[in-house]
Structure 1
Amino acid sequence: MNIIAWVVLGLLAGAIAKAIVPGDQGGSWISTLVLGVVGAFVGGSLHTFIQTGTLQLAAPGLSIPGVFIAVLGAIIAIYLYGLVAQRNI
């Protein structure tokens, strides 16, 4: 997948995931892009693991199922980041 498709998939998946997850994730469009790309890798890797039983670094293509997988991965990434970066005020 070329770089423009990665940018589009990352922005789309990150924006949808930030809209779904309650709370304030903050950040700019660049953090949304990074979240979406990380989510695409997380979701694609989990999808490959469920289908084949092998753990591989994979990412979905720019399609409706690919965006769905990337959004699920981005939601998982938001949740994991929230666990790691938990602040006690």
Structure 2
Amino acid sequence: MGIITLIIVGLIAGALARLIVPGKDPMGILGTLVLGVIGSFVGGFIGSLISGDGIQVFNTSGLLLSIVGAVVALLIYRQISARSAR
């Protein structure tokens, strides 16, 4: 059950991050999923540092931090891909 939840939350977080950050990204659904899962890990880690709860706890703030983490991961991805294109 945990893996399926991670995939669903990751897909939602990745899609919302791509909607929040303007611009085109040459990634499909798999890239969006990976972006969201990375964002979920980053957001979960930040949430566990702030709240003191374990990373396994799922709540609304964890979802919001997953989206924030996905936005950060998307911005880092864009910086890396822009440098490699030069």
For residues 50 and 6 of structure 2, what CA distance do their matches in structure 1 show? 23
Output the TM-score relative to the length of structure 2.
0.80
For residues 6 and 80 of structure 1, what CA distance do their matches in structure 2 show? 21
Q: Which residue of 2 aligns with 1:14?
A: 14
Return the structure number with greater helix share.
Answer: 2
Q: Which runs of 4+ in 1 moved over 6 A?
A: none
Count of matched residue pairs: 83
Kept in 2, the 8 Å contact 1:60–1:70? The answer is no
> 1:6-85 alignment to 2 at 5 Å?
6-51=6-51, 58=55, 61=58, 63-85=59-81
Q: Assess, with a 3 A threshold, how the Cα gap between structure 1 residues 42 and 75 changes in structure 2: closer, same or farther.
A: same
Task: Give the CA RMSD over aligned residues.
Answer: 2.1
Output the TM-score relative to the length of structure 1.
0.78
